[in-house]
Amino acid sequence: MAHPKSYKAYGFTEKGGPLKPITFDWHDPEQGEVIVKVVACGVCASDEAAKYAAFPGIKFPIVPGHEVVGDVVAIPPTEKKWKIGQRVGSGWHGGHCHTCSRCSVGDFVTCEQQDINGITRHGAYAEYVTLRTEAVVALPEGIDPAEVAPLMCAGVTTFNSLRNMSGKPPQYVAIQGIGGLGHLGIQFAKAMGFRVVALSSSPAKAELARELGAEVYIDGSKVNQAEALQQLGGAAVIMCTAPNSETIRGLLPGLAVNGELLILAIADEASIPLSALIQKRTSIRGWPSGTAADSEDCVKFAQANGIRTMVTKFPLDKAQEAYDHRSSARFRAVIVP
Query: Hey, where are the domains in the chain?
Result: 6-152+289-335, 165-286
Please tell me the distance from the alpha carbon of residue 102 to that of residue 96, in angstroms, as a whole number: 10
Give the CATH number of domain 6-152+289-335; options: 3.40.50.2300, 3.90.180.10, 2.30.130.10, 1.10.260.40. 3.90.180.10
Which strands, in side-by-side order, build the sheet including 255-263? 216-219, 195-200, 172-176, 235-240, 255-263, 283-286
Q: What is the mean pLDDT of the chain?
A: 96
pLDDT higher than threshold 80 for residue 2: no
pLDDT, tens digit, 9 for 90 and up, residues 118-173: 999 999 999 999 999 999 999 998 899 999 999 999 999 999 999 999 999 999 99
pLDDT at residue 298, rounded to an integer: 98
User: What homologous superfamily does CATH list for 165-286?
Assistant: NAD(P)-binding Rossmann-like Domain (3.40.50.720)
What pTM was estimated for this model as a whole? 0.95
- Are 196 and 215 in contact by the 8 Å Cβ rule? The answer is yes
pLDDT higher than threshold 80 for residue 52: yes
pLDDT at residue 136, rounded to an integer: 98
Query: Which of 80, 67, 180 is closest to 131 using CA atoms?
Result: 67
Please tell me the distance from the alpha carbon of residue 13 to that of residue 214, in angstroms, as a whole number: 43
Q: How confident is the model at residue 269 (pLDDT cuts 50, 70, 90)?
A: confident
Mean pLDDT of 12-25: 98
DSSP 29: P
pLDDT at residue 15, rounded to an integer: 97
- To the nearest whole percent, how much of the chain has pLDDT over 90? 91
Angle in degrees, 0-180, between the axes of helices 292-304 and 182-191, rounded to the nearest 10: 70
pLDDT, tens digit, 9 for 90 and up, residues 171-199: 999 999 999 999 999 999 999 999 999 99
pLDDT at residue 22, rounded to an integer: 98
pLDDT at residue 1, rounded to an integer: 67
Mean pLDDT of 233-261: 96
Please tell me the distance from the alpha carbon of residue 172 to that of residue 256, in angstroms, as a whole number: 9
pLDDT at residue 5, rounded to an integer: 96
